[in-house]
Amino acid sequence: MAFVYEVVKEEDRELFNSFVPSRKANRNTMWVVDRERNIYSFWIGGNVREYIDVYFLAWNDLNIYTYTETKMYRETIGGQKVHIWIKRILLPDILKNDSEKIQKIVDMIRDILQKQFESQIVFEEIAIPTFREEE
């Protein structure tokens, strides 16, 4: 199954609410999911003045945070382009020595952002992932 950008269904709200305690789903909450691969991703906050957004990604038992800067530009030909700077990717410490899985996650983040924005995306920067001890 491919990624789907959708409203969090009533039957999925408990699952959504379990990921980030400070973020609760309502009837307008959106997320990007791939249920077959057990992948769930959604926006959890940001700073409007600095164009910073924070996204949460759950993949199996891994919790991943991505910090982005996003700017939209209207192009004279071809419509609108979204320019994204991935400023930080914060991974669980357990992945520190698994370069194959790290690359898979970075590719997944790119695919998720592409699905969410449904526009032509230009990735201006993709940070080298950093690590944190699991909670």
pLDDT in tens, 63-114: 999 999 988 777 656 667 889 999 999 999 999 999 999 999 999 999 999 9
**pLDDT category of residue 54 using cuts at 50, 70 and 90:** very high
User: 4: helix, coil or strand?
Assistant: strand
> Count of residues for the chain?
135
Residue-number span of the structural domain to which 29 is assigned = 4-132
Q: Is-contact 134 94, C-beta < 8 A?
A: yes
Q: How many domains is the chain partitioned into structurally?
A: 1
Percent of the chain with pLDDT over 90: 73
